[in-house]
Chains A and B, each alone.
Chain A
Amino acid sequence: MEFFKIRRDIPFMRNALAFNLISFLTFAAAVFFLFHRGLHLSVEFTGGTVMEVAYSQPADVERIRQTVSGLGFADVQVQNFGTARDVMIRLPAQKGVSSAQQSERVMGALKAADPAVALRRTEFVGPQVGEELATDGLKALAMVVAGIMIYLAFRFEWKFAVAAIVANLHDVVIILGFFAFFQWEFSLAVLAAVLAVLGYSVNESVVIFDRIRENFRRYRKMNTVEIIDNAITSTISRTIITHGSTQIMVLSMLLFGGATLHYFALALTIGICFGIYSSVFVAAAIAMWLGVKREDLVKGGGGGSRKEDPNDPNAGAMV
């Protein structure tokens, strides 16, 4: 089987400007929604109490909401969780009231309304824990960015490092933008997914850069644009198939993972879709605009001890 029957190199770079404009608009929209709506942070970040209760028959969410509000909690969220019988109740953190008292009071009221209710899970997070999680998350993000840039600069060249990071942060911001726009819950698991996407999407750019470097060595007559087009064209099959495979896994998580893994898988899905796009159009284009040249990569065999093509008459020659 073969999906990709490509005769000659697809001129990706010719349309780079148009695609990057789209990309920039998406990015700007994401930033706008992030600031305008903000992220709907989970209890892990905000502090508060979450309770998950199970009923023997489909639950009457409206009645539960009235019951809980009747206890004097402000800003209570009640929603179905996974199935019609499971209900999730969120209570914001209150000063001076311990979580145990909160959940016990709510449970008592619910039991009074319907004795056939079972507590499946409670979660209480103090406000200071949430703040730390947020800072730790940002630290992790910064460390990933710095680490990857250093590695790429060392392995390829600084222009590639800049290009790859811009492309990947663009992915991350867009994922966050989606979460802000739809007000999906941003939990710790989603944060993990976002950081995984960061590593994953760089991986994508690296495959293309690797090809660019190789092409600079092999095809001495091509100019930079042709080289980049050829590199993307020859790796596009692998890019699509790899992402397809990963997406199969993520889809499996979406289908079978239940409510707990739902947003995790969703974040990965967005990351994968934009990962392809950003590595092809954003990363390569930025590298091109930064002015990558053959000398940047071929001098002294920047790739370490790779064997030259034995059929190349100019092997080892310096330009």
Chain B
Amino acid sequence: MNRYPVWKYAILVVALVVGVLYTLPNFFGEAPAVQVSSSKSVVKIDDTTRVKVEQALAAAGVQPEAVSLEAGSVKVRLDSTDSQLKAKDAIQKALAPDPNDTAYVVALNLLSSSPKWLTALRAAPMYLGLDLRGGVHFMLQVDMPAALTKRAESLAGDLRSQMREAGVRHGGIQRNGQAIEIRARDSQTVAAARRVLQDQFADLQATDAPDGTEYRITATLRPEAARRVQEQALKQNMVTLHNRINELGVAEPVIQQQGLDRIVVQLPGVQDTAKAKDILGRTATLEMRLVDESSEARAAEVGAGPVPFGSERYLERNGRAVIVKKQVILTGDSLTDAQPGFDQQNQQPKVDLTVDAKGGRIMRDVSRENLKKRMAILLFEKGKGEALTAPVIQGELGNRFQISGSMSVTEANDLALLLRAGSLAAPMEIIEELTIGPTLGAENIAKGFHSVAWGFAAIVAFMAVYYMLFGLFSGLALGVNLLLLVAVLSMLQATLTLPGMAAMALALGMAIDSNVLINERVREELRNGAAPQAAIHAGYDRAWATILDSNVTTLIAGVALLAFGSGPVRGFAVVHCIGILTSMFSAVFFSRGLVNLWYGRQKKLKTVSIGTVWRPAADSAITKAE
């Protein structure tokens, strides 16, 4: 009656082993480490970087514990903070000698010091939230109306030039908020303007309203086009933020989209909010200029002479110098889009650029006059410029043109991204900001840990006294519950926060409910005169329906918190929900397994150790319950 088949015990053992394995990494603590990642999307971190790092360390006489390449960064584990600083200096010297122009970010970090065989099993410790490790957190609001207005403005310009080309004599085109108004004198013109709109501007939808004697069309962005603009603006801002944060040398920055128009940035270990804010809020500009192709400039390019008057020298990303004229043809404001693609004719990767109407006119004139010459695209940040690319002008360009030739697919992608991300698509403002000092983080860990540990110990002690052996089993089940909870959270690589720890404590407090239900039920069966084996069986069976019901309702609350919560509430909810699931497993399945193992084999079971089973007949004292 109370026996589990072997496969059920096997499941229990497997669950225990997995639980222990994945919980272990959390106890090894962290070792100092140095992390090398790329600060430019064109610089790739690969095995050659790892070899370079190893050589630099060998040259400096630093013995690393381990050098590994994972997820696009090289991580060097060291034995002490002294050697960590030494290693950082050595790597910095070897890979990024010039602090103002670095291709690599060399940052101090902490790595889990769990042994190799655990890491090989993909067992990693939980990620600690900001409130437990210290750092800064920003929430940025992207100004979407501004992005839409900008788009409408550039579309209005395009519309003017298209109407001119089509010979539609309109009475003026104006941007009014995020809508574009086209005035006309008669219905023919309105119809012609509509045709232009329909043929050339798929993103706009038109509504015309004859107002008085005038005919007018109001064109607005289609909802799906507006959504696309917003998505792109957000993406572009996130990429830009990424590039900028790289300069801070933060080991593991978190940059996440939240909702439709927000970005959350978390920088663990950074304490200097002012500097972080400065970098996040910086503006970058793109400029297009002609390359100076005079003989003096050629000489200056290889360093054999001074830069001619009226030109400047910039470095390309590959380190080659390029001499460009000071006169700016176009700025990034005119650039509306940059997308990677493939050339139809030779299947070469390319980047398609789109500029607004005004920019298109300028490009047409400039390209007509400078055929077969080179034009450089420069990116300025912090007053320092670099040449992204300097292609040769192959023909007369309009407002759409492409850069192609000798690019790999990834290079094309990177270039498009850089062109787009050189500047923010829409202004952002910081609407939430948190700074947590490192000492506070350590204190919070201690607080959370003590809360869980003492509560756990007190509950287990009480259960053992009140329910004797069954209580001991319940305590063991509770321990397994905690083990599995931590293991699942570690597997998910969840971020542990202080509210999360509170949820853990609460989950344990509630998990014992199932065991109390079972134990009370078994006592009740014994009180009603059932045989011990039957009492155990009935107790578990009857309690199960109740446990299921009560846990489902609690789970509903947890899921609602997950759906609507953000930040700390979400962290709480994740732990809460997982805790309910693990408690159903451990409190019912696991504790039953223990009981079966202990009592199940005994054919003639006389008594079970479940504390006092009070029977009204045997006891004359009446104790009133509160």
Which chain A residues have a beta carbon within 8 Å of chain B's beta carbons?
A: 1-7, 10, 52, 98-100, 104, 118-126, 128-129, 133, 136-137, 139-141, 143-144, 147-148, 151-152, 155, 188-189, 191-192, 195-196, 198-200, 202-204, 206-207, 210-211, 214, 233-238, 240-242, 244-253, 255-258, 260-261, 264-265, 268, 303, 306-307
Residues A189 and B499 in contact, CB atoms below 8 Å apart: yes
Residue in B433, B520, B611 whose beta carbon sits within 8 Å of that of A99 in the complex: B433
29 A-B residue pairs with CB within 8 Å: A3-B625, A7-B616, A120-B436, A122-B434, A124-B433, A136-B565, A137-B564, A141-B560, A144-B557, A144-B561, A151-B556, A188-B568, A189-B569, A192-B499, A192-B565, A192-B572, A199-B558, A200-B554, A200-B557, A203-B510, A207-B550, A236-B625, A245-B459, A248-B455, A249-B509, A253-B455, A253-B502, A258-B444, A261-B451
Q: How far is the CA of A116 from the CA of B565 in the complex (A)?
A: 38
Report if B516 contacts A (CB, 8 A).
yes
Report if B63 contacts A (CB, 8 A).
no
CB distance from A94 to the nearest CB of B (A): 14
Residue in A1, A120, A147, A238 whose beta carbon sits within 8 Å of that of B560 in the complex: A147
CB distance from B211 to the nearest CB of A (A): 37
Chain B contacts for A118, CB-based, 8 A: 437
Chain A contacts for B503, CB-based, 8 A: 192, 196
Residue in A151, A198, A210, A233 whose beta carbon sits within 8 Å of that of B545 in the complex: A210
Within 8 A of A (CB), among B519-576: 520, 524, 541-542, 545-546, 549-561, 563-569, 572-573, 576
Chain A contacts for B563, CB-based, 8 A: 140, 143
Residues A249 and B506 in contact, CB atoms below 8 Å apart: yes
Residues A147 and B513 in contact, CB atoms below 8 Å apart: no
Chain A contacts for B450, CB-based, 8 A: 252, 256-257
Which of A234, A241, A306 has the most CB atoms of chain B within a 10 A radius of its CB? Answer: A241
CB distance from B132 to the nearest CB of A (A): 11
Look across to chain B and name the residue whose beta carbon is closest to the beta carbon of A120: B437
Residues A121 and B625 in contact, CB atoms below 8 Å apart: no
Interface residue count for B (Cβ, 8 Å)?
Answer: 87
Assuming the A-B contacts A123-B434, A199-B557, A200-B554, are A207 and B621 also in contact, with contact meaning beta carbons closer than 8 angstroms in the complex? Answer: no
Look across to chain A and name the residue whose beta carbon is closest to the beta carbon of B447: A258
Residues B561 and A147 in contact, CB atoms below 8 Å apart: no
**6 new A-B contacts at CB < 8 Å, known A203-B551, A248-B458, A248-B509:** A5-B621, A99-B433, A143-B560, A148-B557, A151-B556, A199-B554
Report if B74 contacts A (CB, 8 A).
no
Chain A contacts for B516, CB-based, 8 A: 238, 241-242, 245
Which chain B residues have a beta carbon within 8 Å of chain A's beta carbons?
A: 131, 139, 141, 273-274, 277, 429-437, 439-440, 443-444, 447-448, 450-452, 454-456, 458-459, 462-463, 465-466, 498-499, 502-503, 505-506, 508-510, 512-513, 516-517, 520, 524, 541-542, 545-546, 549-561, 563-569, 572-573, 576, 611-614, 616, 619, 621-626
Assuming the A-B contacts A189-B502, A192-B568, A195-B557, are A203 and B513 also in contact, with contact meaning beta carbons closer than 8 angstroms in the complex? Answer: yes
Assuming the A-B contacts A2-B614, A100-B433, are A206 and B546 also in contact, with contact meaning beta carbons closer than 8 angstroms in the complex? Answer: yes
Q: How far is the CA of A100 from the CA of B278 in the complex (A)?
A: 11
CB distance from A108 to the nearest CB of B (A): 12
Chain A contacts for B435, CB-based, 8 A: 119, 121-123
Look across to chain B and name the residue whose beta carbon is closest to the beta carbon of A4: B625
Residues B556 and A261 in contact, CB atoms below 8 Å apart: no
Residue in A100, A128, A189, A242 whose beta carbon sits within 8 Å of that of B273 in the complex: A100
Which of B444, B447, B563, B564 has the most CB atoms of chain A within a 10 A radius of its CB? Answer: B564
CB distance from B538 to the nearest CB of A (A): 10
Residues B545 and A303 in contact, CB atoms below 8 Å apart: yes
CB distance from B43 to the nearest CB of A (A): 32
Look across to chain A and name the residue whose beta carbon is closest to the beta carbon of B568: A188
Look across to chain B and name the residue whose beta carbon is closest to the beta carbon of A248: B458
Chain B contacts for A202, CB-based, 8 A: 550, 553-554, 557
Q: How far is the CA of A148 from the CA of B506 in the complex (A)?
A: 20
* Top 9 closest pairs, chain A to chain B, by CB: A199-B557, A126-B431, A249-B509, A252-B455, A246-B509, A249-B455, A256-B450, A140-B564, A203-B550
Chain B contacts for A268, CB-based, 8 A: 506
Chain B contacts for A265, CB-based, 8 A: 502
CB distance from B526 to the nearest CB of A (A): 12
Chain B contacts for A253, CB-based, 8 A: 451, 455, 502, 505
Assuming the A-B contacts A1-B611, A121-B437, A207-B546, are A198 and B557 also in contact, with contact meaning beta carbons closer than 8 angstroms in the complex? Answer: yes
Which of A136, A210, A253 has the most CB atoms of chain B within a 10 A radius of its CB? Answer: A253
Q: How far is the CA of A258 from the CA of B132 in the complex (A)?
A: 14
Look across to chain A and name the residue whose beta carbon is closest to the beta carbon of B615: A5
Chain B contacts for A242, CB-based, 8 A: 512-513, 516-517
Chain A contacts for B572, CB-based, 8 A: 189, 192, 196
Residue in A128, A137, A251, A260 whose beta carbon sits within 8 Å of that of B447 in the complex: A260
Chain A contacts for B510, CB-based, 8 A: 200, 203, 246
